[in-house]
Every structure is written in C-alpha cells, then in structure tokens.
Amino acid sequence: MRHFEQSRLPEGVWGLHDHSAPHLFVTTLVYIASRLLGIERDDQMIEPARRFLQAEGVDSIPSWGKFWLALLNLYDWTGLHPILPELWSLPRRLPLHPSNWYCHTRLIYMAMAATYARRFQTPVTPTIASLRDELFPQGFENVDFPASRSRLREADLFARPTVWLRAGYRGAQLLERFHGKRLRARSVDALISQIKWELNTTDHTSISPVSGLLNILALWLHDPDDPDCQQALDQLDLWFWEDEERGARMTGARSASWDTGFALQALSTVPQLGGVPDALRRGSAFLRTQQIEDSFPGFREAYRNDPQGGWCFAGEWHGWPVTDCTAEAVVGLLAADPAAVPETALRDAVRFMLRGQNRDGGFGSYEAQRSVFDLERLNPAEMFGESMTEHSFVECTASCVAALAACKEHSPEVIDGAAERALSQADVWLRHNQERDGSWRGVWGVQFIYGTLFGIRGLVAGGAGPNDPALRSACQWLLDRQREDGGWGEHPSGCLTGRYVAHEESQVTQTAWALIALLEAGDSNWTAISRGARFLMDAQGEDGTWPRQDMAGVFFRTALLDYVLYRQYFPLHALALYDERRKTRES
C-alpha cells in the first residue's frame, strides 16, 4: 500500500509511470488490488480513483485489463476477443505463427491462451460482489460484454487496432465458435509442456514477472499440484523490490549483468582511485560466472535462439541472453582485465551475437528477426508499440560492433570471416539508419540522446575517425541541444510521438550520455564539453552520488523504467573521459 500511495498521480489516480497521464488500465488494477487488500471503498486513497473509473467506464479498459478482470469474475469472458491456443498448432512456416513474434509477446500470449481455454473465474465473494457495483454502477448484469470487446479508452492506447487486427478478431471469433475439442485439448497440452520447459530453463522465474505470473496461473489451472507451479510460485519473490521510501513493488527485470558490464567500463577509466582495482577484480569475477556455457536441450522446439555464449540482462539463472547484454559484458570484461577472459568464452560470445544479426545488417535483442511481414499490424497489446517482432536496434547494433571490435583487438583469433562481414554490414546499417539531422532514435532509453550515444559508439568502434561526416553530424546534433546550464535534457513524452522533446531541466544521465558520445567521437568543441562536465560536477552530492531525476529507460515505447545505477556509472565514465582529455590537452 505504501507503493500505491507513493506512485499516485496528483489527480488521485494512477498511470503507467510517474510521468504518465491518468491510465484506466493501471488505475483499475490498483483500485481492485487495494480493495482486495482490505482498503474500504470510501477510503480517501482510492475514492478519487472510483470516480475516475465510473466516469471513464471500466468496460473500455484495454484487452489485458479485460483478461485480468475476467479471471476475477469482474468481467465476462464473452467480452474478450478469443485468445486461441490453436495458433501454436499452425504450421511453423506461416508468418502468423507465434514463433515469429517478439519473445516477450509470444510468451505472454502463450500463457494467456492456455488460461483462456479454461475460462476460470474466481467465486463471487462479498468483496467481489461489492467491486462489481463499484466498477459498474449501471449494474453488472446490465453490461453488454460482447459489445465491449472492441470498446477501448482512447487515452490508454498506443497501438490502435488496425483493420488487419479487426479482421483477425472476426476470424478468431468464428473459429472459437466451431473449434474442435480434441484439437483444443492437444493445443493446450502442448502449451503446458512448453510453459514447463520455459520454467525449467529460467530457474522457474520466466522471462518476466508478467509471464511468470501467467505461467503459474496456467499450470495451476491444469494441475494445482504441479511441482513446477509450486517452484515458480516460490521464485516469484525474485521479482519483488522493497525499500522504506517507495514500498514494495514488482520490478520488470533484474539487471545485475547489464549494470556490471557498464560499471566495469566506467571504473576501468579510473583504475588509480582507491578501491577501484578490487572492484574491477570482483566485478570481473562475477561477470565471468554469468555467461551461459551450454545450449538448452529442446531450444529449437521451444522457438528459442541457442543461448550458448550469451549473457542475460539479469544473470545466468535467467536463461534469456540478449545481444547487447552480451556485448556490454564482453566490453566490460576486456576493459577491466582482458587476460582473465578465456578465449573460449569470447568465441562463444561472438557466435551468440552473430546469431542475433538481422538480414539488414542490424542486430536484434534476444533473437534475429524471423518474419519479413509487418506483424505490428496485428499487435493486440494496444498499450504498447513495436512489440510484435524483433527489429534492428541502434543500441544492440552498436554494442555488438563495440564488442566485436574489442575482441578483434584483444583476441583476434576469435574473429573469423563471418564476424568481419557482420562488422561491415552493421556499419552500413548504422549509417543508413542515421536521421537526416544526425541523430539516431533509441528504443531502450529516452530516446534520441540515448540512441545517438550508441550510434556514435558504433561508428567509432567500427573505425570512423573524428572527421567522419556521420560522426560530425551526430556530434553537431548533440551540441545544438546543449542547455544554457551546460547539461542536456530530453523529455520522455517524445517516446510516444517519435520526436525529440526538450526537457525543462537538464538530466544528469542524459548529460553523461551526451558527454561520453562527444568525447569518444573526438569532438573539438572543448568549451561545450567543459560546460557539460561542470554541470555534472555541480550536480554531484557530497556523498559522491547524483540525484534521482526522471526515468531514463523505456520499454515498448510507453513503459518508463528507472535504472538506479545509470545516474552513477554513466556520469563517472563521462567525467573520467573528460579528465583524460583534459590532461592530454595540457600536456
């Protein structure tokens, strides 16, 4: 409850994040959770939310909300578009087959399909009966649920249902009416087997807490005594985070390997400082243990990329390695202690990264893109964008180029002809996808400053010199957006529109990104660089930390993420590069 209180918007409702507009989906779920935890309906904490829900109409909640409400018997299953388990039984060569979907999306819908087939609803208790009245003042029995399937609150949407998706829904409705019971049973059994495989390759955590909870529900409905279900329930605590200030909340991901890779890169620029050599040694030792050393039996049947050689965002236990997590781990290890990294580890890492390169030369995240068709037209998750397939990402591409280049420098024997071709193709992709104004649009951070940092890193790692036209254009784009106080700031609202939106105040993390980019590119505007460094030094607290500001990470264009350590190791890295350049200039 403390977290609900801390995260409430000024209007008394809730959004997707601290900077969000009021969100029907989030407010509905928080309201219901508060009531189930014992908060009375007239409590001042949730009373404004009830007014909001009744004014907006809960029947216009996005599809994922309809799903959760149906499970709680606060909505009827007839008010959902069918989530067909039979999709997974289609021939895999078909473009629509879920194996072609982005991994997060396909795993969420895999468990949702297995659960949808059961049509489970919790019994109507006095609290559920009261919630029905509170959410539907016109009377629960008077709600036309089938008519509400496509009723969606406009302000909650990022990806509005297309004509292709609406046609697919009509086809799914027809198939739902006439599906064969035997095929349905076989399809559900196959999904349950795949869910169990997924749990056993992720230390029973799943790829995310959303998938994890859905997997638990699917297994429990299939067999309440399933041992994998119980183990997954026990592991659910791994996703919880709690502190006195903001209370208990479920994190979207753990980030130990990701943070360690960047921390090693930052610390390796200041090895002379007290405590740093020991931190580098311990960080390197930890990160070396987090590489996935062996393939998972059955990964092809589970529609998975071969994980051997990769690093995960969280740790080896997570079982879902990512190209850029692998790349940043490799760069961090080679920066900290190259002699301690086995050649076999680097060779396996290179092979894993190459498996993530797309046909166009860019790199995907978990996997290479599998479909040449625009599956985004069929995106059923209305709140999120670019979530149906892998894409080529500037961050993943640049990180992999940096890692391959570092391997080429320290262990050239692990770079074969395929890796050389990958480097060349990635360089072409980076240049081709640079915006006309010199920037790149990032995907996993906010957004053009973040993307431009990686675009510059990738070009520099690929061999671009200080006078390269693409580098000069990128640096000029950054210089043009420096604020009067010397810092940089980009507002996260631009993620919704795909445009750069200037922030009203400079942001520490984004200033560090801009400085790292300018310094690694060898930009000659020392006055601008010095002003940026001065901003970071002035913003630092007496204890050496920098203050919490706006969230700098983003997921699927709409969900902002707070990477706590970003505001520590990126400013450190920027200032260390600045000091190195300053000393060079003075000498």
pLDDT tens-digit profile of 338-360?
999 999 999 999 999 999 999 99
Mean pLDDT calculated for residue range 573-584? 96
Q: Is the pLDDT of residue 230 over 90?
A: yes
CA separation for the pair 135, 124 (Å, rounded): 15
Q: Which CATH number fits domain 57-248: 3.40.50.300, 3.60.20.10, 3.40.50.620, 1.50.10.20?
A: 1.50.10.20
pLDDT tens-digit profile of 19-61?
888 999 999 999 999 999 999 999 999 999 999 999 999 999 9
Tell me what pLDDT residue 312 has. 98
Q: Would you list the DSSP string of 22-69? A: P-HHHHHHHHHHHHHTT--TT-TTTHHHHHHHHHH-GGGS-HHHHHHH
The answer to whether 324 is a known catalytic residue is yes
Distances (CA, A) of 166 to 145, 163, 374, 556: 17, 5, 15, 22
φ/ψ of 83, rounded to 5, equals -110, 95
Which pTM was predicted?
0.95
CATH of domain 437-587: 1.50.10.20
**E-only strand ranges, 164-259:** 240-243, 247-250
Helix (H, G, I), strand (E, B) or coil at 551: coil
| Encoded amino acid at 316, one letter | E
CATH class of 261-433: mainly alpha
- Model confidence band, residue 201 (pLDDT cutoffs 50, 70, 90): very high
Mean pLDDT calculated for residue range 290-305? 96
Q: Indicate the range of 88-97, 478-487, 500-509 predicted with least confidence.
A: 88-97
Q: Which two tokens stand for residue 367?
A: 């996997």
Pair 356, 363: CB distance under 8 Å:
yes
Q: Are strands 247-250 and 240-243 parallel, antiparallel or unpaired?
A: antiparallel
To which residue do tokens 């996260």 refer? 492
Q: Give the Cα-Cα-Cα angle 155, 161, 163 (nearest 5 degrees).
A: 145
Which of 261, 289, 411, 272 has its CA nearest to residue 339? 411
Pair 271, 298: CB distance under 8 Å:
no
10 CB-near residues (< 8 Å, 6+ apart): none
Let me know if the fold of 261-433 is the same as that of 437-587: yes
The domain limits of the chain are 57-248, 261-433, 437-587
CA separation for the pair 316, 293 (Å, rounded): 9
To which residue do tokens 């909300």 refer? 65
Q: Is the pLDDT of residue 528 over 90?
A: yes
From 59, 76, 324, 427, active-site residue: 324
pLDDT tens-digit profile of 410-453?
999 999 999 999 999 999 999 999 999 999 999 999 999 999 99
Pair 53, 28: CB distance under 8 Å:
yes
CA separation for the pair 346, 330 (Å, rounded): 7
